[in-house]
Amino acid sequence: MPQAYQRGLSDEFNDGVHNAHESQAYAGPVSRPPAIALAPGIYRIPTMGDFINSVALLEGDGSVTLIDCGVKRAPATIVKGLAHLGKSPADVQRIILTHAHSDHAGGAARMVDETGLAGVEVHTDDAEYIRSGSASPRDTTTRLGAIFSRLPGGGFPATPVVREITDGELINVGGGLRIHHTPGHSPGHISLIHEPTATLITGDAIWNMNARMTWPVAAFCTSYRQNQQTAQVLGDLEYAVAAFTHGPEIRGNAREQVRDFLQRATKKQ
Ligand SMILES: [Zn+2]
């Protein structure tokens, strides 16, 4: 069993968003498919409307790689998304986390249990936070970050790490998943590119909520400034589709749009 953790602000936030989603935000006839194709073999699984997504990568041999596990309550929705793709938790051979925050790692311990895996893979610089179930530090140079950093909470069920990821490596799944270390949002934050389908997964380096790209909320970053600096690499890479943990994907000229955002958002400072 995952170890007990202190209920904190982020849990309240997560539950609040979850409840709003269930009762109001998407009330009405909107029905969202449990999994949305980003490109052949790679799918977005919305776990809280488009607010929080996981990504599933399907292999030719039938196995699945899962990227991010949503909040603590997300696994049931992830399993439904997998079922929509004709997959079960037992098909998941690998779980990768983009970073140690409760809306990405909250469901990880549960997914590890359900899949029967020994643990998750995460960048070295966030591995200890995942093992201990604690969120990476907040940026105390921001007023909200300073407040949040003094409050308890933000944690999630502690999760075993089976392998630590490093910058630049090419993970041998689905024809190649390239890791780009983009620290700032957290020390070990990663973005990924599925090279065969030219699909970028930003993690939290950039959000795409409310039909526009933004920086992540500063108070939730370890270093907001470093996030802005390291995200610039995403303007130099090659991809056609950009997928985000927070918000729907951008198709077609995604690279140009990301580049445009980076230029505009950097000029403003
Ligand atoms: Zn985050």
**Structural domain that includes position 157:** 9-267
- Tell me the C-alpha distance between 24 and 132, whole Å: 35
User: How far away, in angstroms, is 82 Cα from ligand 1 center?
Assistant: 23
User: How far away, in angstroms, is 164 Cα from ligand 1 center?
Assistant: 18
User: How far away, in angstroms, is 218 Cα from ligand 1 center?
Assistant: 10
Q: Is residue 2 one of the residues assigned to a domain?
A: no
pLDDT, mean of each 10-residue run, the chain (269 residues): 42 46 45 91 95 96 97 97 98 98 96 98 97 86 62 82 98 94 96 96 94 88 93 95 96 94 82
Cα–Cα–Cα angle for 228, 142, 122, rounded to 5 degrees: 55
pLDDT at position 154: 76
User: How far away, in angstroms, is 53 Cα from ligand 1 center?
Assistant: 12
pLDDT at position 198: 96
Cβ neighbours for 84, distance < 8 A, ≥ 6 positions apart: 33, 34, 35
Q: Is residue 4 one of the residues assigned to a domain?
A: no
pLDDT at position 220: 85
pLDDT at position 153: 61
Q: Is residue 206 one of the residues assigned to a domain?
A: yes
pLDDT at position 205: 95
Residue 58 near residue 42 (C-beta atoms within 8 A): yes
pLDDT at position 184: 95
Q: Which residues pair with 106 in a beta bridge?
A: none
Cβ neighbours for 214, distance < 8 A, ≥ 6 positions apart: 206, 207, 208, 265
Counted domains in the chain: 1
User: How far away, in angstroms, is 29 Cα from ligand 1 center?
Assistant: 30
Q: Is residue 177 one of the residues assigned to a domain?
A: yes
Tokens for 259? 């580049």
pLDDT at position 147: 63
**CATH of residue 177:** 3.60.15.10
pLDDT at position 8: 47
- Tell me the C-alpha distance between 173 and 152, whole Å: 38
Q: Is residue 3 one of the residues assigned to a domain?
A: no
Q: Is residue 82 one of the residues assigned to a domain?
A: yes
Q: Is residue 31 one of the residues assigned to a domain?
A: yes
User: How far away, in angstroms, is 60 Cα from ligand 1 center?
Assistant: 31
User: How far away, in angstroms, is 220 Cα from ligand 1 center?
Assistant: 7
Q: Is residue 22 one of the residues assigned to a domain?
A: yes
